[in-house]
Amino acid sequence: MSRSFFRKLGIAALVMALFCLAGYIALGWAAWARLRWVERLLGEEKSQRLWHAYDTAMATLFPGDSDGDGVCDGREIFWHSDPRDPMKHPVMYGRWSYDGFSGDVQELVGDGAIPFQSFERTLWVSSNEPLQARGYVMADYYEKFDFPAGFNLRLTPPAGYLLAAPGGKLAATALIVPVAHDGSIAFDLQASADVANVPNVPAMLQINNATTGESLMGELRVAHRWDDPSIAPTVTIQRDDPVRPIDTTCHLEWHSGSTAEVSLIEAARDQAGAPWQQIGYVRFPETSCTFYQYRNDPTHPRSILRGLPLTYSGPLKFRIIPLRFAPPQ
């Protein structure tokens, strides 16, 4: 074959590569601009996947964090933010982790489901043992993404509450909490034995960017709780519920002679030493509820929109803790 043939072949390959690159850039621009025709053409799930792919590409190309706000420069550009202004970045939210599982709690006679706990909910904290708070920092409410190295939160406890790194020594002082690459955070929180709840004046755990001092995710309400002995509920498992076919339905029932205000529902992996997670509550005199455990189905759109990784969909164990918000008389 002649040299001319190979020259033409090379030019054709170059033109094709440039054409593909132009198409990739044009599609990325359409995703960045959130053009409606993209979702109409691809559908919601595929357009979300496309958006996440370009978001990840920008974060990979520009991984630095020039302004120290916890969001890398490439991601700020893609999110229409300003990588040079620490006060302009995607809105950050927090979601509590359930040790790899997640789901909804719903009262059998209630008026709606309680979604898996977000940072807007109050943490009910005991003085008998620390609450092992584990969660994720996320953006734009449901989106989960990677964070640059060196991003830390500064947590300041309200009067009468103690903080510590996981398993560390509790103290009534501010705590620096590192945000892992995947957004995960962890800390322990405990109430002092003599701290009282003031009606209509919630205690607030302040969350700030340790570098810029900016308040992130608002303030987290905490409340001192006094527990009665825990109760092991009767659990009925139903799989392939026609109403929630991709989930496992767990019906919980229990008997209690307590006069406490609330029944706190906790769950854990059915394994020795697995940590208990607060998954919801019902108010007295209710003595039953339903927990819909999300199955580990990465193909389901919820896995994309919710952002939280569901790494465990195996058996769970449950316990009910009757509690009140004032010491028993």
Residue from 305, 273, 308, 312 nearest 97 by CA: 308
pTM over 0.85: no
Q: Which of 84 and 17 is assigned the larger pLDDT?
A: 84
111-122 mean pLDDT: 44
Contact 93, 139 (CB under 8 A): yes
216 burial type by CB count under 10 A (0-12 exposed, 13-18 middle, 19+ buried): buried
For 161-187, how does the pLDDT look when each residue is reduced to its tens digit (9 = 90+)?
A: 999 999 999 999 999 999 998 888 999
Q: How far is CA 240 from CA 84, 103, 150, 237, 300, in A?
A: 50, 15, 44, 10, 15
In whole numbers, what is the pLDDT of the chain averaged over residues?
78
% of the chain surpassing 70 pLDDT: 71
- pLDDT category of residue 114 using cuts at 50, 70 and 90: very low
Q: Where are the domains of the chain?
A: 3-63, 127-224, 234-324
Helix or strand or coil: residue 189? strand
- Each as own residue / partner, the long-range contacts of residues 80-84 (CB below 8 Å, 24 or more positions apart, any chain) are 80/32
Is 70 exceeded by the pLDDT of residue 54? yes
Q: Which of 42 and 75 is assigned the larger pLDDT?
A: 75
- pLDDT category of residue 118 using cuts at 50, 70 and 90: very low
Query: Can you say whether the dihedral through the CA atoms of 79, 83, 88, 91 is positive or negative?
Result: positive
- pLDDT category of residue 117 using cuts at 50, 70 and 90: very low
For 285-306, how does the pLDDT look when each residue is reduced to its tens digit (9 = 90+)?
A: 888 888 888 776 655 544 444 4
For 2-16, how does the pLDDT look when each residue is reduced to its tens digit (9 = 90+)?
A: 667 657 666 666 767
Give the pLDDT score at 45.
67
Give the pLDDT score at 72.
85
- Give the span between the Cα atoms of 32 and 170, in whole angstroms: 45
Beta strands 247-253 and 234-239 are antiparallel
76-99 mean pLDDT: 80
- Give the span between the Cα atoms of 97 and 114, in whole angstroms: 15
Rg (CA), the chain: 24
For 303-324, how does the pLDDT look when each residue is reduced to its tens digit (9 = 90+)?
A: 444 455 567 778 899 999 998 8
Give the pLDDT score at 174.
96
In 10 A of CB 233, how many CB atoms? 22
Give the pLDDT score at 175.
97
Pick the CATH number of 127-224 from 3.30.310, 2.60.40, 2.60.120, 1.10.3470: 2.60.40
% of the chain surpassing 90 pLDDT: 20
Is 50 exceeded by the pLDDT of residue 275? yes
